[in-house]
Amino acid sequence: MNQQFDNDQVRRRYEELEELVARGVEPYPYSYDRTHTSEQILQTYRDDDPGLLSDVAVAGRIMAIRRMGKATFFHIQDATGSIQCYIKADELPAAYDMLRLLDIGDIVGTKGFVFRTRTGEITVHVRQLELLCKSLRPLPIVKQERDEQGNIILHDAFSDKEQRYRRRYLDLIVNPHVRQTFIARSRMIAAIRRFFDERGWLEVETPILQPIYGGATARPFVTHLNALDMPLYLRIADELYLKRLIVGGFEGVYEISKNFRNEGIDRMHNPEFTALEVYVAYRDYNWLMKLTEELLVTVASHVRGVPALLRVDGTEIPLERPFHRIRLLDAISQAVGEQVESLSRDELYVLCKRHEVDVAPFASYAKLVDELFTTLVQPSLVAPTFITDHPVEMSPLAKRHRDDPSVVERFELYVGGMEIANAFSELNDPRDQRQRFAEQARLRASGDDEAMVLDEDFLTALEIGMPPTAGLGIGIDRLAMLMTGAASIRDVIFFPLMRPEHSPRPVED
RNA sequence: GACCCCGUAGCUCAGUGGUAGAGCAUCUGACUUUUAAUCAGAGGGCCGCAGGUUCAAUCCCUGCCGGGGUCACCA
């Protein structure tokens, strides 16, 4: 064996492994038949009838060992929780001998009967002990203590964010709340699927590798397809493909999948993130606002038990229907204390300067509106609020408002100061859509590298004809943050993007 | 990309211009109902990396690497 040891704890464990093998112990067996999880034992045990659990088999990772000479207590942790085990040397001399070579982190299976100790803890009295996996590296030890109120006090919790994100497996083993966060995320997505499935809408998959990226304004990741010697883009949105499916005759489709945007990384943004998009034929954005309310209330109730979301500071955000609704320009007017509805681009620029909103002198009308909103309004949108009817320049894929052609039928949902949904009555007039693409092309030519690219086939699809359609996108990661009170998007993504730990020096070319 | 902060034992952290310390973890011994087990002892460190200043650098300076935060960017 030519093993490089990082430190003597690792070396010691390799030595133990060899000694176990020398004694005929298989350190990596193939399976283990459990009768109970730790949770099942704790829930089933009855002091007046301990015989109920006279022969259980549990398995898990050793998380604590207390050796007391000829008797030892240890805790094993499984997916449902943890349970204490008790083993006596005189009853099981061989197993007890093997136990001397086991460590915190090893995975074992044990059979025995359940009893309650003098100090009141439900415990498995070990009659048989098997090693199921030898752990060769030390675990970051988290000790926990219970105070008189029963609160759990953690000592020296594994808290270094870099290590937690890089070695999520360790984070999950030693930090129980992390497991809970990801279970909540998974339940949330399951609840969303159920909500749509119940309505008869079809879950679909559309291309992630796209020859033309579209459906949002963002810089893409570029890759290359060798077989056809052509560039491809990782999708920034799936919108244009889902609309093609509505053209094709499906009347309700949704997709939950990763998008990729080559932009900044911060606590709200990860280069790859999960988006939900749903499109429903014959509906408009008014109907979709009600649906969005219902979706959030249903999902939050399922995941959290109450129709409320959670802020980082632990305060709840009740989801009371109907959510606030305010037109985007009205929200800005309110914030600046004057009517902005009919202001020109140049007047808006002056307004920005007056309110110390930092904008470039050549910024477009849409950009100015966006800056004013982001700076002056968005932070205050804690309670769920629909911001509606954006200027048409900001929304190249949304249908013009039926009463005002300068704005579109669009809403964004803000909760806790975060944008979590974006939706519109979908633009299905191919003539208008072509004009909008032309405007995007003009922006692109003038240096806006996030402007949308013309997708001629998408226009062809619209010419074939798309029924009136409402479409909604939800940032799943951000919604998960609000379901769990997470402070950073990294806390709800198992493996957030990190720079390589030992980065090879990039070669300059 | 800019600025600020951080990087010391497996983990959580102290610390000082004279090359280091605690708790837990680890090792040895004691202990047959413990639970942050306890008691006695021991080992463990390129103080992120590379330069510079200095008689002397973990500490001061510069650069780099990694992380966090703020801003910018970004639906």
Closest nucleotide to A423 by C1' from CA: B75
Please check whether residues A441 and A302 belong to one and the same domain: yes
Distance, Å, A139 CA → B20 C1': 25
pLDDT higher than threshold 90 for residue A457: yes
CA/C1' separation A264–B72 (Å): 10
* A296 in a structural domain: yes
Residue at shortest CA–C1' distance from B70: A266
Give how far Cα A58 sits from Cα of A13, A19, A114, A188, Å: 24, 25, 11, 29
Do residues A219 and A77 both lie within one domain?
Answer: no
Instruction: Clarify whether residues A16 and A106 are in a common domain.
Output: yes
Domain assignment present for A280 = yes
Looking at the structure, tell me whether residues A183 and A70 fall in a common domain: no
The CA–C1' separation of A140 and B13, in angstroms, is: 14
A135 and A182, same domain (yes or no): no
Q: What is the mean pLDDT of residues A83-99?
A: 95
pLDDT for residue A252 = 97
* Average predicted confidence (pLDDT) for chain A: 91
SS3 A112: strand
For residue A450, pLDDT beyond 90: no
A120 lies in the same domain as A219: no
Environment class of A3 (CB within 10 Å of its CB; exposed 0-12, middle 13-18, buried 19+): exposed
DSSP helix/strand/coil, A325: strand
Assess whether A91 and A185 both reside in one domain: no
| pLDDT classification of A148: cutoffs 50, 70, 90 | low
Give DSSP secondary structure letters for A160-189: -HHHHHHTHHHHHHH-HHHHHHHHHHHHHH
Residue A114 in domain: yes
Q: How confident is the model at residue A509 (pLDDT cuts 50, 70, 90)?
A: very low
Q: Are A14 and A138 in contact (CB under 8 A)?
A: no
- Cα–Cα dist A68/A64, whole Å: 13
Residue A462 to residues A178, A213, A241, A428, Cα–Cα distance (Å): 45, 17, 12, 6
The DSSP secondary-structure symbol of A402 reads: S
Question: pTM value?
Answer: 0.92
Residue A313 neighbours by CB distance under 10 Å: 7
Q: What is the pLDDT of residue A446?
A: 78
The answer to whether A277 and A238 have CB atoms below 8 angstroms apart is yes
- Å from the A269 CA to the B15 C1': 38
Alpha-carbon span A328 to A309, nearest angstrom: 23
A304: in domain: yes
Parallel/antiparallel/unpaired status of strands A308-310 and A272-281: unpaired
Per the listing, tokens 């009463």 go with A403
- The strand pairing partners of A152, in sequence order, are A146
Instruction: Say how far A48 CA is from B19 C1', in Å.
Output: 64
Measure Cα distances from A353 to A346, A350, A439 in Å.
Answer: 11, 5, 26
The distance (Å) linking the CA of A162 with the C1' of B71 is 22
pLDDT of amino acid A342: 85
Measured distance CA(A26)–CA(A20) in Å, rounded: 8
Separation in Å, CA A99 to CA A16, A32, A65, A95: 11, 18, 10, 6
B26 C1' to A46 CA distance, Å:
38
User: Quick check: is A27 in a domain?
Assistant: yes
Taking the CB of residue A40, how many other CB atoms lie within 10 A of it? Answer: 18
In this structure, the answer to whether residues A391 and A445 fall within a common structural domain is yes
Count of domains forming chain A: 2
Q: Calculate mean pLDDT across residues A350-357.
A: 85
pLDDT digits (tens, 9 = 90+) for A186-202: 999 999 999 999 999 99
Lookup: nucleotide whose C1' is closest to A118 CA: B33
Of A116, A139, A162, the residue that ends a domain is: A139
- Amino acid making up residue A372: L
Beta strands across the sheet bearing A230-234: A209-210, A230-234, A222-225
Which has the higher per-residue pLDDT, A504 or A465? A465
Give the residue with minimal CA–C1' separation from B67: A162
B73 closest protein residue (CA to C1'): A264
Round to a whole number and report the distance in Å from the CA of A486 to the C1' of B65: 29
| Closest C1' nucleotide to A165's CA | B67
Within 10 angstroms of residue A493's Cβ, the number of other Cβ atoms is: 20
Identify the weakest region by mean pLDDT among A178-182, A301-305, A361-365: A361-365
The nucleotide whose C1' lies nearest the CA of A374 is B75
pLDDT at A193: 98
- In this predicted structure, the answer to whether residue A93 has a pLDDT above a threshold of 80 is yes
pLDDT for position A98 = 94
pLDDT given for residue A504 in this prediction: 41
Domain that holds residue A55: 8-139
Q: Is residue A40 part of a domain?
A: yes
Residue A452 CA distance to nucleotide B73 C1' (Å): 18
Residue nearest B30, CA–C1′ metric: A69
pLDDT in tens, A298-342: 999 999 999 999 998 888 999 999 999 999 999 999 998 889 988
| pLDDT of A472 strictly over 60 | yes
pLDDT at A150: 66
Look up the CATH number of the domain holding residue A50: 2.40.50.140
Whether residue A198 is found in the same domain as residue A251: yes
Both A411 and A276 in one domain: the answer is yes
Beta sheet of A272-281, edge-to-edge order? A202-203, A252-260, A272-281, A469-475, A418-425, A410-415, A385-388, A324-327
Which one-letter DSSP state was computed for residue A24? T
With cut-offs at 50, 70 and 90, classify the pLDDT of residue A502: low
Q: What is the pLDDT of residue A222?
A: 92
What would the two tokens of residue A54 be? Answer: 């006279």
Averaged pLDDT, A252-260: 96
* Residue A260 included in any domain: yes
Residue A4 pLDDT: 60
Task: Report residue A118 as tokens.
Answer: 């003098």
Closest to A302 measured CA to CA, from A177, A195, A385, A198:
A195
Residue with tokens 């360790």: A170
Residue count of chain A: 509
Q: Which nucleotide is nearest to A503 (CA to C1')?
A: B65
Residues A392 and A471 occupy one common structural domain: yes
Report the distance from CA of residue A154 to the C1' of nucleotide B35 in Å, as an integer. Answer: 14
Same domain, A135 and A218: no
Nucleotide of closest approach to A103 (CA, C1') = B26
Distance of C1' in B50 from CA in A504, Å: 16
Nearest nucleotide from residue A174 CA, by C1' atom = B11
Model confidence pLDDT, tens digit, residues A199-217? 999 999 999 999 999 888 8
Give the residue with minimal CA–C1' separation from B49.
A502
| Residue with tokens 């305010």, as numbered in its chain | A326
The domain spanning residue A485 has which CATH number?
Answer: 3.30.930.10
- Looking at residue A406, its pLDDT comes to 92
The set of strand B positions with any atom below 7 Å of a protein CB reads 1, 9-13, 23-27, 30-38, 43-45, 65-75
Q: Measuring from the CA of residue A140 to each C1', which nucleotide is nearest?
A: B11
Among the ranges given (A111-120, A151-160, A258-267), the one the predictor scored with the smallest mean pLDDT = A151-160
Reported as a pLDDT band with limits 50, 70 and 90, residue A505 is: very low
* Span A370-403, pLDDT tens digits: 889 998 899 889 999 999 999 998 899 999 999 9
3-state secondary structure of A55: coil
Report the nearest residue to nucleotide B6, CA vs C1'.
A160
d(CA A296, CA A476): 12
Other CB atoms within 10 A of residue A41 CB: 21
- Structural domain includes residue A299: yes
* Beta strand extents in A345-436 (DSSP E only): 385-388, 410-415, 418-425
Alpha helices by DSSP H, A323-429:
328-336, 345-354, 365-372
